[in-house]
Amino acid sequence: MTRSEFEHIAPRLRPLMVQVALDFFGSEDDAEDVAQEALLSLWRYCEHIQAERNVEGLAVRVAKNCCVSWQRRQGLSAIVPDESPSDSAPALSHSPHDLLEAKEVQETLHEIIARLKPRERELFEMRQIEGLPPNEIAARTGLQKASVNVIVCCARKKVFSELKKILRR
């Protein structure tokens, strides 16, 4: 997806993201900020996916992820009464070493996925990034649901074995 294509669909996606954030924070200001951040994150994902894909599901997932990340960064508490923020949204490790390692692992994961066959990669990303269920993938790609499951299984096992090798080093 090109930048101009993304800018064309962004006004349609933004209200979805604002609504997700508004449900979570209850504040329009926070929701606008989170939606802005979510659009930037979505652009990073959309760089690698085809323009004809329906990215609304992905936009909602990215917005949810941004809500949790925003809440964790802001140190907001009282998500649920009588509950500390660490209970509701457990913090990930934030040390520079961990962040660097996580970034390296993510790059390795992208390289592994990039080495998959095109069909495997397409279905893997549709299933993993966009979060589409197998029957919807089957409807979009014109494949049988069983075939989708087989291709997705094969792609996952390839990525899994490659990742395991890297993690065991």
Partner 1 sequence: MKDKDIQQLTDRYLAGETSNEEERRLALALHEIQTSRGELPADWRAVQLMLGELTLGEALYDDIMARRGAASLAQSASAPSVRLTTERQKSSRHRLWRWAAAAVIVLAAGIGVALYQPETSQPKAASALTNKTSEHNQRYIPPRPALQVATTNSINEAGQPHEPMRKNASAKANRRKRKSAQPKITPSGTEMTSPTLEERTEEPLLAAAEAEQQTENVQYPSLSNDDDPYAAVEAEMRDIRSRGERLQRMLDEIINDKTMLANHLN
| Residues within the interface to partner 1 (CB under 8 A) | 23-24, 58, 61-62, 64-69, 79-81, 83, 88-91, 105-106, 109, 127-129, 131, 133-134, 148-150, 152-153, 156-157, 159-160, 163-164, 167-168
Q: Please, what is the minimum distance in Å from the beta carbon of residue 5 to partner 1?
A: 21
Cα–Cα distance for residue pair 132/6, rounded to 1 Å: 20
By beta-carbon proximity to partner 1, the closer residue of 4 and 53 is 53
Q: Which amino acid is at 66?
A: C
Whether residue 151 contacts residue 128, with contact meaning beta carbons closer than 8 Å, is answered with no
By beta-carbon proximity to partner 1, the closer residue of 32 and 72 is 72
Query: Which of helix, strand or coil describes residue 7?
Result: helix
By beta-carbon proximity to partner 1, the closer residue of 121 and 156 is 156
Cα–Cα distance for residue pair 130/30, rounded to 1 Å: 25
Whether residue 51 contacts residue 5, with contact meaning beta carbons closer than 8 Å, is answered with yes
Q: Please, what is the minimum distance in Å from the beta carbon of residue 25 to partner 1?
A: 11
Q: Please, what is the minimum distance in Å from the beta carbon of residue 63 to partner 1?
A: 9
Whether residue 68 contacts residue 89, with contact meaning beta carbons closer than 8 Å, is answered with yes
Contacts of 91 (CB under 8 A, 6+ apart): 72, 85
By beta-carbon proximity to partner 1, the closer residue of 6 and 45 is 45
User: Token pair 């800018």 is at which residue?
Assistant: 7
Q: Please, what is the minimum distance in Å from the beta carbon of residue 15 to partner 1?
A: 18
By beta-carbon proximity to partner 1, the closer residue of 35 and 159 is 159
